[in-house]
Structure 1
Amino acid sequence: MPNDLVRRHAVTRSGTTGCPPLLLLHGFGCDQSIWEPVRPGLDPDFDVLSYDHLGSGLSDLNAYDERRYATVGGYVDDLVQLVRRLDLHDVALVGHSVGAAIGLLATIAEPERFSHLVLIGASPCYRDDDDYHGGYTEDDLRGLLDLIDADYLAWATGMTPAIMGNPDRPELSVALREQFLRLAPRIGRQFARVSFLGDYREMVEQVSVPTLVMQARSDIVVPEDVGHWLHGAIVGSELVVMDATGHCPHVSAPAETLQALRRFLGCDSRRAP
């Protein structure tokens, strides 16, 4: 793999050589380690890649450019550059939260590179608008961003239990909080704006690759209505409303997540005699 992009994004590659490529994209506040609960279940059937968005995880903080990453476009361009430079084709793209939005926009930009798109806890717009229920009013979003601006670390510490859900397993929230706290506050504040203020509803209908929308129940970040909206807007898409709860079902319910992924990506059919 080209060393410049590998170092900049801390690209990780596992899985099985010669199998179809599968690329995992993490969301706001997290890093690529968020995929560890499901990665072993994907490795036997895929050439699995993941990376850290610039400013997150082990990415090169010196390469972070506030102008480039003031919009989601910088993150989409990073993804497209990586796929091109690594000469990946027929990529199964699995994104979580804003990582799902980044992946969705990348498949619109270069659909010929991608074979499947999986959206986990995705939202094209967090703001309520007429008949669209995004989960937040304008005042809600303004208040959220004010809290993040005032003290990102305090906000992250207080919010990660609600984001993760599953209060009977507090260790999951602790692990998520550790990831959020590794994100530099100045980057966290900007990435929050990119994540929560975007509106890609008019672009969603341009998605042309086979798509699976995975929506957990009782997700404080993305209401179930949004999953149904995405399913209706993406022609030919499939929707799975999971028994899992919280915003990170790949962490809280890895077996259920893997079952849906493997079915949609055709793992079982490839193994059939």
Structure 2
Amino acid sequence: MDVRRRNNVVITGRPDGPVVMPAHGFGCDQNMWRLMVPALAERYRVVLFDYVGSGRSDLASWNPERYASLDGYARDVLEICEELDLRDVIFVGHSVSAMIGVRAVARAPHLFSELVMVAPSPRYLDDPGTGYRGGFTEADIEELLDALDSNYLGWSAAMAPVIMGNPGRPELGEELTESFCATDPTIARVFARTTFLSDTRDELPGLRVPTLILECERDPIAPREVGAHVHAAIPGSTLVTLEATGHCPHLSAPEATAGAILSFLRERGR
């Protein structure tokens, strides 16, 4: 299996530096990290990739059974690490990739040294029985998935600007729309259901790698209550609230996002 080609692996930065592995969220690809890569590449070996089904990955390698669970995406991460013989990996996951990172660390803790979560959510659905607020009701999620099933391109055009959350900078919403629209609708539907119906809350307390949680001041997808929940659930984690709005601070506030990550890693001697 040629994992480099399958996942469109691109390596940049210092060849002898610690490994940083940024992982994109739903409807995106590795290009979404481009504004942060220069800051990371000065000190780190940056390993970029696309999940199978996203970006320039090998679409022929995609199958609905594997990627109907976050475990399928976590396997992508672990197979890349094994193929490239990566160790002490600093995994940086955006949105659903933060929880994919949790799954990957749980399955192969010896491969990872730190976990950085950018706008994470372990469960998007509210859970009235426990008082957990994920930001979406069951009706919200059903409506979202129905709209995605019936008119993916229309859904993308409507949702991307909302997710980006920066109406004063429409070019950001347009970029996310283009990224969504470039994804095969069949693959996007499976990834969306995997993302929005997942629940990783029970796995957070068992996380045993130093973890940084980055949340935005206002995020339409992962409200501040979610950041507080993740921080409380992960032993010894660090929570930083960025002066940013929306769900994609690596695009809307790349300097602040990269600065927070670099500060966290410097404090750890990394």
2:5 and 2:58 in contact (8 A); partners too: yes
Q: Gaps (5+ residues) in structure 1?
A: none
Deviation of 1:267 after TM superposition, in Å, equals 7.6
Of 49, 54, 57, 1:56 maps to: 54
Equivalences for residues 154-233 of structure 1 within 5 A: 154-233=154-233
Q: How many residue pairs were aligned?
A: 268
Equivalences for residues 42-121 of structure 1 within 5 A: 42-121=40-119
State the AA in 2 paired with 1:169.
Answer: R
Q: Separation in 2 of the partners of 1:60 and 1:111? A: 27
Aligned to 1:13: 11
Deviation of 1:222 after TM superposition, in Å, equals 0.8
Deviation of 1:38 after TM superposition, in Å, equals 0.4
Aligned to 1:125: 123
Summarize deviations over 1:196-241 as a string: whole Å, max 9, x none: 0001111111110000000012211111100000000000000001
1:45 and 1:267 in contact (8 A); partners too: no
Deviation of 1:50 after TM superposition, in Å, equals 1.1
Question: Runs of 4+ in structure 1 displaced over 3 angstroms?
Answer: 267-270
Q: Separation in 2 of the partners of 1:219 and 1:69? A: 26
State the AA in 1 paired with 2:210.
Answer: P
* RMSD across aligned positions (CA): 1.3
Deviation of 1:269 after TM superposition, in Å, equals 5.7
TM, length-normalised to structure 2: 0.97
2:70 and 2:103 in contact (8 A); partners too: no
2:32 and 2:251 in contact (8 A); partners too: yes
State the AA in 1 paired with 2:163.
Answer: I
Summarize deviations over 1:22-46 as a string: whole Å, max 9, x none: 1010000001100001000000110
Any idea what SS the aligned residue of 2:202 has?
helix
Aligned to 2:245: 245
Q: Separation in 2 of the partners of 1:168 and 1:145? A: 27
Aligned to 2:2: 4
Summarize deviations over 1:228-265 as a string: whole Å, max 9, x none: 00000000000001111100001000111011000111
1:211 and 1:236 in contact (8 A); partners too: yes
Summarize deviations over 1:68-102 as a string: whole Å, max 9, x none: 11111111111111111211111100000111111
Alignment pair present for 1:149 and 2:110: no
The alignment-based identity, stated in percent, is 45
Any idea what SS the aligned residue of 2:157 has?
helix
The verdict on how the C-alpha distance between 1:239 and 1:268 changes in structure 2, with shifts beyond 3 A counting, is closer
Q: Separation in 2 of the partners of 1:73 and 1:98? A: 12
State the AA in 2 paired with 1:67.
Answer: E
State the AA in 2 paired with 1:74.
Answer: G
TM, length-normalised to structure 1: 0.96
1:262 and 1:268 in contact (8 A); partners too: no
State the AA in 2 paired with 1:4.
Answer: D
State the AA in 1 paired with 2:22.
Answer: L
Any idea what SS the aligned residue of 1:115 has?
strand
2:102 and 2:203 in contact (8 A); partners too: no
Q: Separation in 2 of the partners of 1:102 and 1:269? A: 25
Aligned to 2:256: 256
Deviation of 1:139 after TM superposition, in Å, equals 1.1
